[in-house]
């Protein structure tokens, strides 16, 4: 999966949690919490939805590493690469 494909699927997953999300307005490097008013429950639901979409389980300790769209894409790309190599 390319990073662009991952990005598209991350944004689609996020829009399931934030229905009013406008992908065109999304700033990939700004924290989701600040730009979308995502709270801890939304964020957990987002991680669960990512797990469903990519099959990647984010350990609790890693959760802060997925604060922006860019960070999500990077984290997932790496996790998927590691899985492919394993």
Partner 1 sequence: MPRLGADMTAGKVVKWLKQPGERIQRGDVIAIVETDKANVDVESFIAGVLEKILVEPGDERLPVGTPLALIRAEGAAEPVAPAAPVAAARAVTPAPIPSAAIPLAAVPAAVVPPAPGERARISPAARKRALELRLDAAALTGTGPEGRVTLADVERAAQAGQAAPATQVAPTAQAAPAARAEPSPADAAAARQLRMREAIANSMSRSKREIPHYYLACTIDMGRAMAWLAERNAGRAVTDRLIYAVLLIKAAALALREVPELNGFWIDNRAQQSEAIHAGIAISLRGGGLVAPALHHADQRSLDDLMRGFQDLVKRARAWSLKSSEMADPTVTITSLGDRGVESVFGIITPPQLALVGFGTPLERPWVVGGQVVPRPLLTATLSGDHRATDGHRGALFLAAVDRLLQQPEAL
Residues that bind partner 1 (CB under 8 A): 17-20, 36-37, 39-42, 44-45, 47-48, 51, 57-61
As measured in angstroms, the least distance from the Cβ of 27 to partner 1 is 16
User: Is residue 84 within 8 Å of 60, Cβ to Cβ?
Assistant: no
As measured in angstroms, the least distance from the Cβ of 43 to partner 1 is 10
Rg (CA), the chain: 12
Among 83, 82, 76, 79, smallest CA distance to 11 is for 76
Cβ closest to partner 1, residue 4 vs residue 64: 64
Q: DSSP label at 31?
A: -
As measured in angstroms, the least distance from the Cβ of 51 to partner 1 is 5
Among 4, 6, 19, smallest CA distance to 56 is for 6
Cβ closest to partner 1, residue 4 vs residue 60: 60
């Amino acid at each position: 999966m390319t990073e662009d494909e991952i990005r598209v699927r991350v944004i689609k997953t996020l829009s399931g949690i934030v229905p009013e999300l406008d992908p065109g307005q999304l700033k990939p490097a700004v924290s989701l919490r600040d730009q979308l008013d995502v709270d801890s429950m939304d964020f957990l639901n987002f991680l669960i939805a990512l797990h469903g979409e990519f099959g990647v389980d984010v350990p609790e300790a890693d959760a802060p590493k997925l604060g922006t769209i860019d960070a999500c894409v990077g984290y997932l790309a790496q996790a998927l690469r590691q899985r492919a190599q394993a």
